[in-house]
Amino acid sequence: MDKPNEIKSLPIGIFDSGVGGLTVYRALHDRLPNEHFVYLGDTARVPYGTKSLATVERYALENAQFLAKRGIKMLVVACNTASALALPSIRSQIGLDVVGVIGPGGRKAVEVTMCDSPRIGVVATEATVASGAYAEAIHRACPEAEVFQTPCPLFVPLAEEGWTNEPETFSIAERYLAAMRDLKPDALVLGCTHYPILRDVIQRTVGENVTLIDSGEATADEVVTLLREKDLANPNSVTGSRRLCDDIDHFFVTDAAERFGRVAERFLGIRPSILEAIELSAIGK
């Protein structure tokens, strides 16, 4: 049954614990020029990786409910910790199609290796590695896969500071990734949405023969497919060329809007045109 156009023309909601999900927003924007987006960065409560399961679930549900009340047709959870710990709760309570970043990243890693027993590395935050969510996703796609995981917590502040080509960044990458390089993975999943900002450093450290998997790009590819399968693609063509962060897309943060704008400019090359600070506690349940 065809969906009415008023539903198809609704925005896609995206949330993250902070700014890292902007790399997912960029991937979605590049692939879906007719769609518009509502982004929520929970900057008041970042990082999620140090929180308990119950706390992450509560925060994630509050974020999802805020975006749902804005009127969205699909939700993208652009946070690895929330994707690892809270997707079942979100899906059970939101009543919308929900896409996380871990499943798509794991499936893409298996797909690109094109072998029966792939060797797949995962670099992520300590919380995401400890959850085992990427290993589980990869093994669902290919039970024979060998999975190696390494936490790289300092990559997050390096990305946010824009330290993408400094000697210190290469030194830290070498310390984190030397053992991973010795394991000779066929593919390496960038299991944190900040890490694509350091893609060149990571690639040069592990070697050009290792295929890097951007979980945000993999998620965007699956969103494109889901929109088509669910008959949710926006039928209205956008006139002219779409710019990142233009006034069609709306960005919300729960704190530190000025800093978010500065980091967004580092990540995307431009500040959001519409950036608004809100308090989730003040929003009706």
Catalytic residue chosen out of the listed positions 142, 152, 192, 245: 192
Active site residue 192: yes
The two structure tokens encoding residue 153:
């917590």
CA angle 136, 28, 186 (to 5 degrees): 40
**Who's near 63: CB < 8 A, 6+ residues apart?**
15, 40, 42, 82, 280
The two structure tokens encoding residue 261:
């704008």
Residue spans of beta strands (DSSP E) within the chain? 12-16, 37-41, 74-77, 97-100, 119-124, 146-151, 187-190, 211-214, 250-253, 275-277
Catalytic residue chosen out of the listed positions 79, 142, 152, 245: 79
Burial of 246 (0-12, 13-18, 19+ CB in 10 A): middle
Whether the Cβ atoms of residue 281 and residue 266 lie closer than 8 Å to each other: no
Whether the Cβ atoms of residue 109 and residue 120 lie closer than 8 Å to each other: yes
Three-state secondary structure call for residue 181: helix
**Who's near 58: CB < 8 A, 6+ residues apart?**
none
Whether the Cβ atoms of residue 270 and residue 245 lie closer than 8 Å to each other: yes
Active site residue 152: no
Catalytic residues: 79, 192
